[in-house]
Amino acid sequence: MPVERNATNWCGWGWAASRYDFHGRRDAFLGWLGGRLGVDVGAVHTPPVDPDSIQLPGIRLSDADLADLATAAGGPDALQRDARSRLMHAMGRSLPDLLRLRRGQVSCAPDAVVLPGDAGAVAAVLRLCRERDWAVVPFGGGSSVVGGVEACDPRGRPVVCLDVTRMDRLVSLDPQDRTATFQAGVYGPDLEAALGARGFMLGHYPQSFEFSTLGGWIAARSSGQQSNQYGDIADLLVSCRVVTPQGELRTWNGPVSAAGPDLDMVIAGSEGTLGVIVDATVRIHPKPATYQIKAVLFPDFARGTAALSMIVGAGLRMSYLRLSDEVETATYLKMGGGGRAKELGLSALGVFGFKDQRCVALVGAEGDPRDVEHDMLAALAICRKHGGLSLGGSPARNWHRDRYLHPYMRDDLLDAGIAVETHETAVPWSRVQAVRDEVRQALNDALAAQGRKVHVMAHLSHSYPTGTCIYFILMYAVDPDDPMAQWRPIKASICDAVARHGGTISHHHGVGLDHKPWLVREKGELGLRLLRALRREVDPSSILNPGKLVD
């Protein structure tokens, strides 16, 4: 069952009916956060506008155009032109998206939404759009946080949103080859359920898991919370089928090939600019027989970082490996994430040298019981060598239980005038501390220039032998006069700091509109030319997701 979009929050995260509960300690947390930011959080109430009051841009397609489009997509049911559907497909779920939606500032919306049911219908839609020179924005769960699905065209052409979520079937599963082929519009839970019924799993759990699709994961080069064990989506991708304006591309379906450049690695990260991913073959894994997950407290971030580096460097098979810095650790405890009792327990640890710099890590393994036992013992021994103290499984299980709930916090805090922004990068291990500190400093400076304070948390979310992903979460009081004008220099300050240190502009969120100005720092001019050459070859009139990734 695809997600029913009308049951989701039109201007925020996830299900319309869900909220983050702060473990019953919302007021206490908001008071604490307000103190950090120097604002009276309780005095502000900035709810979103009534969505029915929003004036969308007019539809630029004629009734005849729309009829042709419906026919191409598979019939009248495969086209939506109502205001609510257009609004739900107008943009993604980044902070600037939320800031604009909540205020009813929707300057771009698709002229129509099509929902093709198979690859043939996708090809027919692309053919029509190419003939008529309409832009096409491929759209899965619509959970992009980088402006990756914004229904706009820099050239001002009509925009058709191509929603792939009706293509959500399991096509085939081969237990011997440990691969499964799905249509690309399948959402995370449906994909895992289909595999689970056969005793398998994919093991890809991005925070957007419930509201994002296989095709979106590939297009944006997503990573899941258990990527240490199962790999990022680029590792899980075996083969894909992509409909382009110049015909269909099917990449080779097999383990490893030396026959020229790897076209799967060209499609992964192409963000809808090279075609519409219609199906994909992915590696699957037998469901693990057992798992262990433990929280470990480190005296400081540097020692926790060193432990993670050693664990992945030793080739230990970890399914969870995550380290919060001292600010995130303190914040998490304030939010009640660790439980009241645990907070008190941790406070007492001060006497053992675990003071304000303490950092909590999650360390987990899953699979064969003997392998799990062996690797967890080895990993915890490394943690101990770096001053880590096991807190047992309970705080880790709390985190695991809440792992898809945190994004809801954004909407609640926006009601109280607090913006929550995220940004992630990846860097070699040797640059972790410098990048973490510089981004924090850059943010302090950027907010200070506005006469405000910022609360900056960081965690290491995905680790590799050569480096790690640093994930920043920042909170600041929204400027009620012009939140977008306020946001831009904040975003730029992070991106500049990251680029200065050679970090990637994105480890797993993608480029979209928001990161595009920084892409040249990472790819170089010639690298961008290569990407443009690919784009030109399959899409000479640049109808596919125009304005995103590269021009």
Beta-sheet strand order (sheet of 135-139): 79-80, 112-114, 159-163, 135-139
Residue 405 or 528: the one with the smaller Cβ distance to a copy of itself is: 528
Phi and psi angles of residue 149, each rounded to the nearest 5 degrees, phi first: -125, 20
* Residues sharing a CB contact under 8 Å with residue 290, sequence separation 6 or more, in sequence order: 366, 367, 368, 369, 372
Burial readout 252-266 (b: 16 or more C-beta within 10 A, e: otherwise)? eeeeeeeeeebbbeb
Other beta carbons within 10 Å of 465: 12
Q: In whole angstroms, give the CA distance from residue 79 to residue 85.
A: 10
Q: In whole angstroms, give the CA distance from residue 264 to residue 277.
A: 11
Q: Which one from 20, 187, 408, 471 is the annotated catalytic residue?
A: 471
**How many CA atoms lie less than 13 Å away from 305 in the CB half-sphere?**
24
| Residue pointed to by tokens 């609510």 | 84
Q: In whole angstroms, give the CA distance from residue 312 to residue 119.
A: 40
Three-state secondary structure of 423-484: EEEEEEHHHHHHHHHHHHHHHHHHHHCCCCCCEEEEEEEEEECCEEEEEEEEEEECCCCCHH
For residues 321 and 463, the answer to whether their CB atoms sit within 8 Å is yes
* Residues sharing a CB contact under 8 Å with residue 211, sequence separation 6 or more, in sequence order: 3, 8, 13, 14, 141, 142, 143, 187, 188
At residue 404's C-alpha, the angle toward residues 493 and 347, to 5°, is 75
Residue 258 or 341: the one with the smaller Cβ distance to a copy of itself is: 258
At residue 13's C-alpha, the angle toward residues 52 and 144, to 5°, is 100
For residues 146 and 94, the answer to whether their CB atoms sit within 8 Å is yes
Q: In whole angstroms, give the CA distance from residue 88 to residue 383.
A: 46
20 noted as active-site residue: no
For residues 274 and 534, the answer to whether their CB atoms sit within 8 Å is yes
Residue 10 or 252: the one with the smaller Cβ distance to a copy of itself is: 252
The percent of the chain in helix, strand and coil, each rounded to the nearest 5, is 40, 20, 40
For residue 114, the SS3 value is: strand
Q: In whole angstroms, give the CA distance from residue 243 to residue 279.
A: 10
Phi and psi angles of residue 337, each rounded to the nearest 5 degrees, phi first: -60, -35
Mind telling me the catalytic residues?
A: 471
